[in-house]
Amino acid sequence: MHHTKFGRTGLRVSKLCLGTMTFGLQCDEAQSRAILDAAADGGIDFIDTADVYPLGGGRTTAGRTEEIVGAWLQGKRHQYILATKCVGQMGPKPWDQGMSRKHILDAIDASLRRLGTDYVDLYQLHGFDPHTPTDEALDALDTVVRSGKARYIGVSNWPAHRIARALGRCETKNLVGIASVQPRYNLLFRAFERDLLPMCEEEGIAVIPYNPLAGGLLTGKHDRTVPPPEGTRFALGNAASRYQDRYWHEQEFEAVDGLRATAAEAGMSMATLAVSWVLSNPAVTAPIIGASRPGHLADSLAAAERGALPADLKARLNAATHVWRAVDAER
């Protein structure tokens, strides 16, 4: 597995990042550990999680994913780059979520306990909280880094204009700067090519996109004529409606049909094609790949090893999915 520079920092990370939001609900602990083992065997040493994971479980299961990852990391923490996130609701009180200084400082301590470590390499805001001044959140993140509890900070699910303002505020106040952005990005969701990705290239911000397989739709395994299979992201707890709203539409299925033929002509699986396309964007640092079984990682690992897509194939994919550059980024 090749390693790549993490934005403008001196850090280098594996070209793929393992996403863990399936751990603890869609995958039990034994299965989760098997996925972690397979990722490590494939050379992935960059792991992303969040305090609200597993996906689909709500507050009743929040934190379980971090516990599973933390238990697996015992005795080998120094061998991995570890990222986690806060902002989501972790308790019944109004201050148990959001970007307030109180919540961020409480949340990092709780994550470190669950992860069994005294620091994370990357601490990220999982979303934007319009009820908290951005300066307050940035100041709290600065405290987290300067206290040694995180090495770098990042944001996820922030639009370009909010990140641009945050960058300016960090410079003005001499705070630790934003090192990375975690946006949704795949062949069926390309809205961030219009502003966010070019801005990250210009500012030297690492991009670690999630959903490179569109929740699994880009594997080609789903059938539009039947309901989403149990156990998939399209039928998983309180996350099901979000994923169906994003991708479970006739237009997306028609695109998948065309991409299936393109993948066959190129001699690769649909999943390898989809991840290779994400990797081919020069703004992208390391796509976050998820799995519900160890074998699901093989196609993504193949994408990381095969190198750049041929220019003509990339152009063909761009043309076939160009309509999704115009999709509302909030969808």
Active-site positions read: 53
Are 2 and 16 within 8 A, CB to CB?
no
Dihedral of alpha carbons 322, 323, 326, 328, sign: negative
Name the amino acid, one letter, at 188.
Answer: L
Q: Helix (H, G, I), strand (E, B), or coil: what is residue 123?
A: strand
Q: Considering only CA atoms, which of 39, 139, 29, 38 is closest in space to residue 82?
A: 39
Strand residues in the chain grouped as ranges (E): 3-5, 12-14, 17-19, 46-48, 81-86, 120-125, 150-156, 178-182, 206-207, 288-289
- The C-alpha atoms of residue 190 and residue 192 are separated, in whole angstroms, by 6
3 state DSSP class of 181: strand
d(CA 213, CA 210): 9
